[in-house]
Amino acid sequence: MTSKEAIRLLEQFRAGDVSREKVLQAFQAAPVADLGFARVDMHRALRKGFPEVIFGAGKTPKQVLGIAAKLLEREQRILITRITAEHARVLRKKFKTAIHHAIARCVTIDKRPLPKRPGAIVVACAGTSDLPVAEEAAITAEIMGNRVDRIVDVGVPGLHRLLERLDIIQRASVVIVVAGMEGALPSVVAGLVSKPVIAVPTSVGYGASFGGLAALLGMLNSCGSGVTVVNIDNGFGAGYAASQMNALADK
């Protein structure tokens, strides 16, 4: 239950549409569900505005399924990141509304999609090889109630490709820029927009990129104002942060 859903429940109680017992049941529910192999935070949405996100890597399909089922007893939507095809198969078999986003390596289950906020989030990636990370950011932001515009393959070797989409980028409330290699693209974008830029280094690149470390250090040393950097390949973290920023702009 999100904070908005809690407020709606209280308003329904005040209007006489729900009983006191139902309200008490909702707020007295245990904050943690112990599944033995996992302790699921059932009040994450109430504190953060979105349920606990399931990190699929390292978990068996059965474990992911168990956590998802427990969350969906109370929540309208969940996000599972870094899953395999087997995770997706098991989830889709159990939950008919589950959607497998293969490129993003995510599964979303959304019983009641959130209304979209007025502001838009742009996710731009330097190259097609950066798409898995960029899509992870985009899917994260979308399920959290944001409109996302995707801009693909606009790296600095062909700067004209970026400038062709500049009007879309400048209209955004937040811009996520995903790049590997030397990680130069966020600095370029930051010099062209007045909105926050979240830079995401990827592990894409040749030997001297050191698995994304070169891009990470380049972004941390960006001369572009307003650039914030997340960890290597952390599209989820960028999408989550962008959603929080866009929520502030909406308010």
Residues 161 and 89 in one domain: no
C-beta separation of 126 from 178 below 8 A = yes
CB-based contact 131:103 (threshold 8 Å): yes
Greatest Cα-to-Cα distance within the chain, rounded to the nearest angstrom = 65
Q: Is the pLDDT of residue 28 over 70?
A: no
Q: What is the pLDDT of residue 2?
A: 63
Q: Mean pLDDT across the stretch 207-222?
A: 95
Domain boundary (63, 87, 110) is at 110
Residue 74 pLDDT class (50, 70, 90 cuts): confident
Regarding whether 153 and 207 lie in a shared domain, the answer is: yes
List the domain range (segments joined by +) for residue 203.
Answer: 120-250
Residues 244 and 136 in one domain: yes
Whether residue 40 is contained in a domain is answered as: yes
Which CATH number does the domain housing residue 134 bear? 3.40.50.1970
Integer-rounded Cα Rg, in Å, for the chain is: 20
Q: Residue 218 CB: number of other CB atoms within 10 A?
A: 21
Residue 90 lies in a domain: yes
Residues 245 and 143 in one domain: yes
Pairing of strands 98-101, 77-81: unpaired
Predicted model pTM: 0.87
pLDDT at 161 over 70: yes
Q: Is the pLDDT of residue 181 over 90?
A: yes
- Kindly state the average pLDDT of the residues 73-102: 95
* Mean per-residue pLDDT, 156-185: 94
pLDDT at 29: 66
Contact between 169 and 151 under an 8 Å Cβ cutoff? The reply is: yes
181 burial class (0-12, 13-18, 19+ CB within 10 angstroms)?
A: buried
Residue 58, token pair as written in the block: 């390292």
Task: Write down which residue in 72, 91, 110 finishes a domain.
Answer: 110
Mean pLDDT of all residues belonging to the chain: 92
Pair (91, 136) in one structural domain? no
Do the domain assignments include residue 8? no
Q: Which of 110, 130, 162 is the last residue of a domain?
A: 110
pLDDT tens for each residue of 89-120 = 999 999 999 999 999 999 999 999 889 999 99
Q: How many domains does the chain have?
A: 2
22: in domain: no
The pLDDT value recorded for residue 169 is: 95
**Shared-domain flag, residues 101 and 132:** no
